[in-house]
Structure 1
Amino acid sequence: MDRRSELAEFLRSRRARIDPVTAGVPPYHGRRRVSGLRREEVAQLAGVSVDYYVRLEQGRATNVSEAVLDAVARALGLDAEERAHLRRLLRPARGVRRPPQRVRPQVQHLLEAMTDAAAYIVGRRTDVLAWNRLGAALIAGLDTAPPRQRNFARLMFGDEPSARALFADWPAKARDLVSFLHVDAGRHPDDPALAELIGDLSRHSELFRRLWAEHPVHDKGHTTATLRHPLVGTVELAYEALRLPDDPEQMLVTYSAPPESDAAAALRLLASWHATPPAKRT
């Protein structure tokens, strides 16, 4: 994973989605070789020289000011998460020590105490670090996959037919996963394990390659997820993703349902069938 390549691909993808007419740029009488805005047009909209914008897109501009960053973000119509991603790519953290991905015992105890919700901890690169019994029952592979494969993106894109069968809105779930990996790449562009993961997924999944090239950038949040489980049928669950306060690179993911609902009854039934104790990860 190369920070300059990530930056260039991100900015190119955002230029490509903008209609020049809507953006209000003067008519271009030559033949457009790219979709969306040309570099010269972004520079004009942002009020910077073409040479400077080219160097910025190539990752060769240094000490980019907040004013320039905001001007480029406005010209490209970036939302808050995309602006944050651009800022991280332009100003990468240097010399930041990344501790091993370990789940605190208290967090593991919390997972085990959550008997009515499927839950797991996701770390960098969507590595699955810990889970509870219901989480393993809901998402196949959390407790049976080899350690190298115990990664949510590998589980989902490595067996796309099963993922499509489980998630009613699989295209949205797939985009969310790719978005999360792009956010991670912005934080840790020099992570060799992340580069290996992206390479593996790109070789084995055409869908992943297409989504990765589109460069979606959105962090996990909350939504309603419809799952079609082979044992309990279709269930509509509340999805929450919460970053742990003492380690923002770990995220608690839960699937839950209102008490006394049909979905809650389905989760209880699923838990009763999955009698294997939850694994403890370090």
Structure 2
Amino acid sequence: MDGKNPLGAFLRARREVTTVDQVGLPRTPRRIPGLRRDEVAALADMSTDYYIRLEQGRERNPSARVLEALARVFQLDAEATAHLRDLVHGRRPCEGPDGCGDLLRPDVLRFLEGCDHAVVFALNRRLDFLAKNSLATALYRGLDDHGNGLRLAFLNPAAREFYVNWEQQAHTLVAHLRAVAGAGPEDPFVLELVEELSRESEDFRRIWARHDVRTRTHRSVSYRHGEVGELTLHNEVFRVGAAAGQQLVVGQPEPQTSSERAFEALRGLAGVGAGRR
């Protein structure tokens, strides 16, 4: 996924996106963005030679103290720090016959299909759509999503109009994929997806190269729907029990807003009676 040196690729990417202002260093003329290797080494209290060996893959077993120091320099949050540790120590494989959790429990599917007051869809860890309720189907109507949220965002030109802030949405999706992909290609379908998107999309290559790591929990997403206009949904993401990587995304508009009016129009498209809300 990132060659034979994922730790080095991660460190290099984080070094290039960390600015001198973030770490309190004076601004100086430089040929490359971000921090220099010697600056990282000094901030992390290690020799420059040792840090260079880490980036080049000649040192693959840094201590916990070294990882903590690097996480501090790059200002990693808890999730990204855990990802850094996984790159060194590995991650326990996902459970299940294919490690992905593609089958929804019948009770989860019944809940999803019966929910008529919110946009609800189920995803696996690769962001494949496992199921959509009628409102989600109406929201994505007319879009060829290839069955996957990342393919929709990067391979369908219409996505740049559909998502009001496409760049933000693209970064969020890629950071999520980084988080679930972990230290290596546990899931061959994740590896296949990354290779496909890297081959077909320059934007995916650009954002993937940042090595941002962040699973989705809750956030607002603004859509530009061809029939009902613009609407913003507050999306909450729920893990589905013990299923490996399955999640439910539940989206609703803020009350008494233009988004709520557009949402009611979406309910009409979905054939959901307003009286049942």
Please indicate the TM-score interval, normalised by the length of the shorter structure: 0.7 to 0.9
Offset of 1:24 from its aligned partner? Answer: 6.0
**CA contact 1:239–1:256 (8 Å) conserved in 2:** yes
Offset of 1:20 from its aligned partner? Answer: 4.7
Q: What SS does the corresponding residue of 1:231 show, helix, strand or coil?
A: coil
Residue 152 (structure 1) aligns with = 149
Residue 44 (structure 1) aligns with = 42
**CA contact 1:4–1:58 (8 Å) conserved in 2:** no
Task: Please report the RMSD computed on the Cα atoms of aligned residues, expressed in angstroms.
Answer: 3.0
Q: What SS does the corresponding residue of 1:124 show, helix, strand or coil?
A: coil
Larger RCO (CA within 8 A; separation ≥ 6): 1
1:80-229 aligned at under 5 Å gives the runs: 80-94=78-92, 96-97=94-95, 98=99, 100-140=101-141, 149-160=146-157, 162-186=158-182, 188-229=184-225
1:60-99 aligned at under 5 Å gives the runs: 61=59, 63-94=61-92, 96-97=94-95, 98=99
**CA contact 1:243–1:250 (8 Å) conserved in 2:** yes
1:50-77 deviation digits (Å, cap 9, x = unpaired) = 4443343345545543322111111222
Residue 15 (structure 1) aligns with = 15
**CA contact 2:94–2:100 (8 Å) conserved in 1:** no
Offset of 1:3 from its aligned partner? Answer: 7.0
**CA contact 1:116–1:268 (8 Å) conserved in 2:** no
Letter matched to residue 38 of structure 2: E
C-alpha change, 1:108 and 1:9, in structure 2 (3 Å) is same
Whole-Å Cα distance in 1 between the matches of residues 265 and 161 of structure 2?
A: 20
Taking structure 2 as the reference length, what is the TM-score of the superposition? Answer: 0.83
Q: What SS does the corresponding residue of 2:231 show, helix, strand or coil?
A: strand
Letter matched to residue 205 of structure 1: S
Residue 249 (structure 2) aligns with = 253
Letter matched to residue 192 of structure 1: P
Identity %: 41
C-alpha change, 1:55 and 1:140, in structure 2 (3 Å) is farther
**CA contact 2:162–2:223 (8 Å) conserved in 1:** yes
C-alpha change, 1:59 and 1:184, in structure 2 (3 Å) is farther
Q: What SS does the corresponding residue of 1:176 show, helix, strand or coil?
A: helix
Offset of 1:94 from its aligned partner? Answer: 4.5
C-alpha change, 1:245 and 1:63, in structure 2 (3 Å) is farther
Whole-Å Cα distance in 1 between the matches of residues 241 and 119 of structure 2?
A: 20
Taking structure 1 as the reference length, what is the TM-score of the superposition? Answer: 0.81
2:222 counterpart of 1:241: no
Gaps of at least 5 residues in structure 2 are 273-277
Whole-Å Cα distance in 1 between the matches of residues 169 and 100 of structure 2?
A: 28
Whole-Å Cα distance in 2 between the matches of residues 101 and 54 of structure 1?
A: 41
Q: What SS does the corresponding residue of 2:209 show, helix, strand or coil?
A: helix
1:19-74 deviation digits (Å, cap 9, x = unpaired) = 4576467999xx96643323333223212344443343345545543322111111
Q: What SS does the corresponding residue of 1:140 show, helix, strand or coil?
A: coil
Residue 279 (structure 1) aligns with = none
